[in-house]
Amino acid sequence: MMRGAFDDVPLTVLFPPLTPAERDSLRRTAGTVDTARADRRTADWEWVLEHAAFSGARMGTLVVLGLDVIEHAEDGDQLEFLLQVVRTELGQLAVDAAVNVACWCETDHATHDVDALRLVVSEETRLPDAFRAGAERMLRWLARPHDADHWRAKAGLPARPIS
Ligand SMILES: [Zn+2]
């Protein structure tokens, strides 16, 4: 796993089929997300070169490139916003966006995705378009309250008990 600013992401290695214009589009989109979180605690972009070339079916999802904005993580509670380019279980390239919160159910599920979006990249849906759509969703989420209980209430999940 490598970490850094989006300018450090080796887009030509991760996504060889992209045209220069498509790489510019990815950079512009990443810039809108970076700008939205400029006043917050920074979380770098992360990427895994070995996952980029993998296109076979497998167990689980592999993160190729992603941003994990941890808004809140203390006393066992957690609120995370994720924007990731992944290899799916079927080996497809896809963009995943998700809001993830800590679970306070009686049965411990560890965490819940309270909202999530997956856009599979195809001939019709190119990676820059999927990435932009995922980023736009993430920007809408980031504009909402950064309070894990707000998101749990929205999803019908129990709030964190007051101790
Ligand atoms: Zn739960």
Task: Render each residue's pLDDT in the chain as its tens digit; 163 residues.
Answer: 899 999 999 999 999 999 999 999 999 999 999 988 766 655 589 999 989 887 788 888 999 999 988 887 788 899 999 999 999 999 899 999 999 999 999 999 999 999 999 999 999 999 999 999 999 999 999 999 889 999 999 999 999 988 7
Ligand 1 centroid, distance to 119 Cα (angstroms): 25
Instruction: Please state, in angstroms and rounded to a whole number, the distance separating the CA atoms of residues 125 and 146.
Output: 31
Instruction: Please state, in angstroms and rounded to a whole number, the distance separating the CA atoms of residues 15 and 32.
Output: 20
Query: Exposed, middle or buried by CB within 10 Å (0-12, 13-18, 19+), for 160?
Result: middle
Ligand 1 centroid, distance to 154 Cα (angstroms): 14
Instruction: Please state, in angstroms and rounded to a whole number, the distance separating the CA atoms of residues 2 and 45.
Output: 8
Where are the domains positioned within the chain? 2-154
Ligand 1 centroid, distance to 102 Cα (angstroms): 8
pTM for the model stands at 0.91
Ligand 1 centroid, distance to 143 Cα (angstroms): 25
- Buried b / exposed e across 20-53, counting CB within 10 Å, b at 16+? eebbebbeebbeebbebbeeeeebebbbbeebbe
Ligand 1 centroid, distance to 131 Cα (angstroms): 29
115 DSSP β-pair partners: 99
Pairing of strands 93-102, 2-4: unpaired
